[in-house]
Structure 1
Amino acid sequence: MDGSRHDLVIGGSGMLAGLVERLAQDGRQVSVIARGRDRLQRLAARHPGIHPLPLDYRDAAALDAGLAAVAAARGPLQRCVAWMHDDSRERALRIARQISGVYCEVLGSASADPARPDRLAEWQTLFQPLERPVLRLAVLGFVREAGGSRWLTDAEISAGAGRALAGPEPVSIVGTVTPWAARP
């Protein structure tokens, strides 16, 4: 199997499900890690290019075994989009070492807090020693509307993560993070 068309999406059965479907529709093989077996199976049933990997990414042994299995079945992983709810940079590095192209970490809006400019720099410093993969950060913001603001929808998040994965910018803001005081 052509590994140059094999992607990994971590946390792909929820807000990134739209991205998973778009990647599969574009002819990519998409291995999807998620803990929710039912949602993951429903997602995989929508397209033959979507391959479920029901495991908890926090379990290092299960994660290593799962990554090895998908690489053996569908070829090496070229790209990864990861939405991990905790802040484990070491886990991100463990996964990134299995990726040959682009590793895109999806981060919550708190990573853009102007009072903490070090948060994004920490990610870039962490990946600096690695020749591959190329790091992309997709920072989730919010949408300003008449009369206030709102958080992003799943469709907006999927589209923004897809742009970050494909684009040249090291940091992509999905929505806006300014003004910071306007966050919902």
Structure 2
Amino acid sequence: MKSNNHALIIGGTGMLAGVCLHLAREGYSVSVIARTLSKFKRLKVESPPNSIFPLIADYDTDDVYEEINKVILERGTFDLIISWTPNYSVLERICEMNDGDRPFRLFHVKGSRRYFEDESIRIPSLCRYRKVFLGFVMEDSDSRWLTHEEIASGVIKQILKDDEEGIIGQIHPYELRPK
């Protein structure tokens, strides 16, 4: 990965925290949408200095757009957006705000149900849209959901592979997923 790139992570203080740390170690300037500063502080302790920056806002409020506008003015548009948000309209607007004069990639992390029933999303022409579906893990005759570490590791692999679509864990047989 190139250094001096700028990434935006939505969901970066939770299950995507490992992705934030990985990108920071690879030289990215990582902007993380966080609802509270306390969750962000835990992430910041583990990151290289001056690599991870908070956007304290709930992504379901208009405050998030103000914060994103500020960070774009300060550090430029995003080369990479990784999102764990079910709110497609918010993600569409963020991508529109980021749509400058150069291509960027969006990795949209989704639950397994969206693999079978998904809604469409409007993506700007310079955005390379990637879907990453979260499945489950079979252990003997039981199933379980993925851990945060498995999710982060899988998303990192998808970023490196850069395929249009990827699955972390398994989706089939769907009826064996954890209840």
In the superposition, the TM-score normalised over structure 1's length comes to: 0.85
User: Cα deviation per residue 1:65-90 (whole Å; 9 max; x = unaligned)?
Assistant: 11121122222211100111xx3222
CA contact (8 A) 1:102 1:165 kept: no
Give 2:171's aligned residue: 177
CA distance in 1, matches of 2:45, 2:66: 23
- Answering whether residue 163 of structure 2 is matched by residue 161 of structure 1, we say no
- Answering whether residue 29 of structure 2 is matched by residue 29 of structure 1, we say yes
User: Cα deviation per residue 1:17-67 (whole Å; 9 max; x = unaligned)?
Assistant: 01100000111110000113201122123222111111111112x122111
Give 2:105's aligned residue: 102
Residue identity (%): 32
User: Cα deviation per residue 1:110-141 (whole Å; 9 max; x = unaligned)?
Assistant: 1123xx3xx16x24xx33xx212110111100
CA contact (8 A) 2:4 2:29 kept: no
The aligned runs of 1:15-164 (5 Å cut-off) are: 15-47=15-47, 48=49, 49-60=51-62, 62-84=63-85, 87-97=86-96, 98=98, 100-113=103-116, 116=117, 119=118, 122-123=120-121, 126-127=122-123, 130-164=124-158
5+ unaligned residues in a row in structure 2: which ranges? none
Query: Which runs of 4 or more aligned residues in structure 1 lie more than 4 Å from their structure 2 counterparts after TM superposition?
Result: none
Structure 1 residues 4 and 27: CA distance shift in structure 2, 3 A: closer
In the superposition, the TM-score normalised over structure 2's length comes to: 0.88
Aligned length: 171
5+ unaligned residues in a row in structure 1: which ranges? none
> What is the CA RMSD across the aligned residues, in angstroms?
1.9
Give how far 1:106 is off.
0.8
Give 2:6's aligned residue: 6
